[in-house]
């Protein structure tokens, strides 16, 4: 593996004020009326953000193109190889999200690759900025749409099957942006040698430990469930407590116990009930039905399976004891995804060369890196998040904590491509 340290005559530097201007400029696109941002896939705000990124890429001397799903690439052509080293992240956001999640990684790749081209000349392998069209699933339940296209994982029926909350299909939304759903297979890439993604941590480990950076070992595995609990609808005033089959009370006990089970397993195990609803939903009626979601995560495969099994046992036991019906619908299931050891070593060596304190850690959130990793050697670099905040308007990383990540990213890309 080549050294991650550029030669002394190829020093790359970043102006913090300039970095912050890019972040703030992109972060002004898609302002949500109730706070934060919303740039859903194929919305006008999304299109404006992609256009802004393309303008910047061209201004910085990179050749741009877009693929069949709207992913944007900025190319610094190599001199000796048709193989490509890719770096970037997504520009779509959750509803009322912040301006750092995803967007920072796209901006970081743009600045690092353009700076390398200016300071070091053409690379041996081609370097490309990867501005990913979608990761969050905030408009369509099509998480990782951009990277699934690049890795050839989009099924033919998905564009016409998947709809947003207004009933618009992905195919219709694509056509409104001038994209042809029939061309999706052309987005697949077979020329990639590596992918490096810079991202905010979205947690507190780096900040609490006083680390400059994190080098991710594994992206967590997860299982998403929708739990349907059925009981009997009765009068809230006349039905004795011992005769009730209260679906909502049963759901509440299930939620309390499954979250306690994750807490008892200890960090980094987590279990979250993020949504709950009851029917018929009146103050004076014992609920006949309740539905809630469960998000379970752990980066260790065996521990994840153990936690999932314990939660499923809790659901069954509570339902049986309370005389309730139970249906468990699996929405997603992903095993943990390890990052490539060789590229992790490049990032670690680059951080050491910069004199930075770094931490090897798992990622508790999903990232495009987990989609690329089974197909392309991949690594994920974290910069700290203030107070661990993310997916909210308060999301923030000081530029003084971003610039060290940019320097390490540039060193790593130099090692991989020059």
The residue among 295, 318, 334 that closes a domain is 334
Q: What is the mean pLDDT of residues 374-397?
A: 97
* Residue carrying the six token digits 């992240």: 89
Same domain, 330 and 391: no
DSSP string, 360-406: EEEESS--HHHHHTTTS-EEEEEE--GGG--SSTT----HHHHHHHH
Residue 81 vs residue 63, higher pLDDT: 63
Where a domain ends, among 318, 334, 350? 334
User: What is the per-residue pLDDT across 281-315, written as a single tens digit (0 to 9) for each?
Assistant: 999 999 999 999 999 999 999 999 999 999 999 99
> Residue ranges of the alpha helices (H) in 145-268?
145-150, 158-161, 170-176, 205-209, 247-265
Q: The domain spanning residue 394 has which CATH number? A: 3.40.630.10
Mean pLDDT of the chain: 96
Q: Which domain holds residue 144?
A: 8-219+336-417
Q: How confident is the model at residue 6 (pLDDT cuts 50, 70, 90)?
A: very low
Decide if 1 is inside a domain: no
DSSP state of 354: T
Same domain assignment for residues 211 and 226: no
Residues 35 and 156 in one domain: yes
Number of residues that make up the chain? 418
pLDDT score, position 332: 86
Q: What CATH number does the domain containing 298 carry?
A: 3.30.70.360
Predicted local confidence at residue 2, as pLDDT: 43
Band of pLDDT at residue 9, cut at 50, 70 and 90? low
Q: What pTM, to 2 d.p., does this model score? A: 0.90
pLDDT at 376: 97
- CA pair distance 71, 124, nearest whole angstrom: 24
Average pLDDT over residues 21-32: 98
**In degrees, to the nearest 5, what angle opens at C-alpha 408 toward C-alphas 87 and 366?**
50
Mean pLDDT of 139-152: 95
Write the CB contacts of 313 (distance below 8 Å, at least 6 apart in sequence): none
Same domain, 325 and 346: no
> According to the model, what pLDDT value does residue 3 have?
42
For 76-127, write each residue's pLDDT tens digit: 999 988 899 999 999 999 999 999 999 999 999 999 999 999 999 999 999 9
Q: Identify the pLDDT of residue 8.
A: 41
Are 57 and 190 part of one and the same domain? yes
Final residue of a structural domain among 334, 355, 377: 334
**Residue 174 to residues 7, 280, 323, Cα–Cα distance (Å):** 45, 38, 47
- Nearest 5°: the CA angle 306, 372, 381 is 80
Distances in Å between the Cα of 90 and the Cα atoms of 95, 103, 134, 185, 253 are 15, 6, 6, 20, 38
Same domain? For 286 and 227 the reply is yes
Assess if residue 349 is contained within a domain: yes
Pair 134, 147 in one domain: yes
Residue-wise pLDDT tens digits, 148-192: 999 999 999 999 999 999 999 999 999 999 999 999 999 999 999
Could you tell me if 336 and 221 are in contact, meaning their C-beta atoms sit under 8 angstroms apart? yes
pLDDT at 47 over 50: yes
Structure tokens at 371: 């989609």
- Estimate to the nearest angstrom the gap between the alpha carbon of 262 and the chain centroid: 22
How many domains does the chain divide into?
2
Q: Are residues 327 and 353 in the same domain?
A: no
Same domain? For 102 and 180 the reply is yes
């Amino acid at each position: 593996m080549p050294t991650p340290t550029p030669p002394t005559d190829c020093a790359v530097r970043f102006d913090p004020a300039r970095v912050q201007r890019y972040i703030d400029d992109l972060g002004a696109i898609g302002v949500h009326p109730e706070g934060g941002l919303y740039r859903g896939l194929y919305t006008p705000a999304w299109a404006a953000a992609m256009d802004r990124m393309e303008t910047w890429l061209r201004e910085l001397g990179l050749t741009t193109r877009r693929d069949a799903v709207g992913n944007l690439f900025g190319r610094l052509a190599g001199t000796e190889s048709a193989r490509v080293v890719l770096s970037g992240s997504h520009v779509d956001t959750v509803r009322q999200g912040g301006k750092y999640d995803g967007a920072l990684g796209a901006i970081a790749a743009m600045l690092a690759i353009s700076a390398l081209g200016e300071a070091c000349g053409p690379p041996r392998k081609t370097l490309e900025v990867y501005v990913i069209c979608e990761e969050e699933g905030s408009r369509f339940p099509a998480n990782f749409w951009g990277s699934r296209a690049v890795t050839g994982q989009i099924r033919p029926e998905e564009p016409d099957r998947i709809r947003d909350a207004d009933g618009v299909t992905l195919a219709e939304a694509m056509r409104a942006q001038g994209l042809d759903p029939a061309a999706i297979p052309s987005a697949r890439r077979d020329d990639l040698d590596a992918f490096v993604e810079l991202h905010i941590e979205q947690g507190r480990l780096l900040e609490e430990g006083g680390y400059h950076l994190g080098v991710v070992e594994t992206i967590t595995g997860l299982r998403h469930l929708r739990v349907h609990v059925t009981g009997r609808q009765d009068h809230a005033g006349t039905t004795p407590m011992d005769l009730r089959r209260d679906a909502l009370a049963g759901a509440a006990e299930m939620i309390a116990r499954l979250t306690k089970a994750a807490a008892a397993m200890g960090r980094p195990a987590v279990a979250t009930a993020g949504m709950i609803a009851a029917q018929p939903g009146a103050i004076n009626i014992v609920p006949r039905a309740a539905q809630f979601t469960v998000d379970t995560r752990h980066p260790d495969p065996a521990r994840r399976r153990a936690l999932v099994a314990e939660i499923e046992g809790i659901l069954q036991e509570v339902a049986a004891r309370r005389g309730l019906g139970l249906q468990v619908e699996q929405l997603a299931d992903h095993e943990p995804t390890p990052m490539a050891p060789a590229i992790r070593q490049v990032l670690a060596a680059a951080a050491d060369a910069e004199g930075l304190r770094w931490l090897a850690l798992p990622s508790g959130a999903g990232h495009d890196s987990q989609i690329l990793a089974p197909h392309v050697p991949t690594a994920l670099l974290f910069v700290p998040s203030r107070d661990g905040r993310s997916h909210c308007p308060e999301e923030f990383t000081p530029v003084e904590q971003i610039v060290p990540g940019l320097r390490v990213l540039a060193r790593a890309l130099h090692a991989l491509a020059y």
